[in-house]
Amino acid sequence: MKYVDYERPINLKAALEILQNNGETTKILAGGTDILTKLRIRRELPDLLLDSKEIPELNELSYNPNSGLIVGGAVPLYKLYAHADVKKYYQAIVDSTKIIGGIPIQGRATLGGNLCNAAPSADAIPALIVLGATASIHSLNGSREVSISEFCTGPGSTILKNNEIVVSINIPAPKQNSGAHYMRFIPRNEMDIAVVGVGTSVKLNDEGSKFEDAQVSLASVAPTPLHVTSITDYLSGKEINDENIEKAGELAKDASKPISDMRGTAEYRQHLCTVLTKRSLKQSIERAKEN
């Protein structure tokens, strides 16, 4: 059996010093819902676990109508989706985080952990992508902001360096006449992994008749969560009608690169891309009109 050392720093500087000196053999624990499972089955064998739960900067959860939402990397999901401003202004975040596991999991799991786990099927990442979110990444050498759409590089891999930590996820304030939505398909409630997930966001003109902007991101159909920019290019400036929404669904299907596995065939996943994209876009449009 391999013994693993455990550190629980109470400030960011101490955590960054640990990562600077031992980053190659350290794993960061935010909620622990993924890393502890991987330890049990020996998929991960670090020398050190760095528990980030006591770092103040990683526990910030605040909203400013000008700058938007800051979600610390260690904020548990239940605090996020229960926050009054999140429920009011970031409904797609509520959609995507409230379905991750059950209530016990949501008491530990974090948005930062869901992001850094970098699963192609991650529910939260498509919602973050369509909302234009960024990750605030820190090391002893400084900090950088990275678009969530560029964060994941492959299944389980990200742009993070060994000496870096995601301090927060930053989501811009919603614009007027905008709405966003996330939905997924699973064959039964006991299987908590999306066969396909779709996040959408739209911004409408003042009359509510045209798309000024539209964003779509897909889960479980590529090695990383997929930002379908062809839909943005197509829908921008277009009339809101069934024909254009139908075309967006086809573009989602065309952009997908699914595999066949025990949860569904590639062909079935492509069909779901079309269906769920259309449904989610319609939900985003309704929310935009309400806003």
Report how far residue 129's alpha carbon sits from residue 162's, in angstroms, rounded to the nearest whole number: 24
Q: DSSP string spanning 96-122?
A: HHTTSS-HHHHTT-BHHHHHHHT-TT-
Contact in structure between 203 and 215 (CB atoms under 8 Å)? no
pLDDT of residue 88: 98
Contact in structure between 91 and 5 (CB atoms under 8 Å)? no
pLDDT at 189 over 70: no
Q: How many CB atoms lie within 10 A of CB 78?
A: 17
pLDDT at 222 over 70: yes
Helix (H, G, I), strand (E, B) or coil at 56: helix
pLDDT at 113 over 90: yes
Instruction: Give 138's strand partners.
Output: 143, 165
Distance between start and end Cα atoms, the chain: 56
pLDDT at 273 over 80: yes
Tell me the domains of the chain and their CATH numbers.
Answer: 5-51 (3.30.43.10), 57-171 (3.30.465.10), 178-290 (3.30.390.50)
Contact in structure between 168 and 58 (CB atoms under 8 Å)? yes
Across all residues in the chain, what is the average pLDDT? 95
pLDDT average, residue stretch 7-28: 96
Helices (H) and strands (E) in the chain, counts: 11, 14
Position 33 confidence tier, pLDDT thresholds 50, 70, 90: confident
pLDDT of residue 190: 58
Q: Whose structure tokens read 């548990």?
A: 76
pLDDT average, residue stretch 62-76: 98
Position 191 confidence tier, pLDDT thresholds 50, 70, 90: low
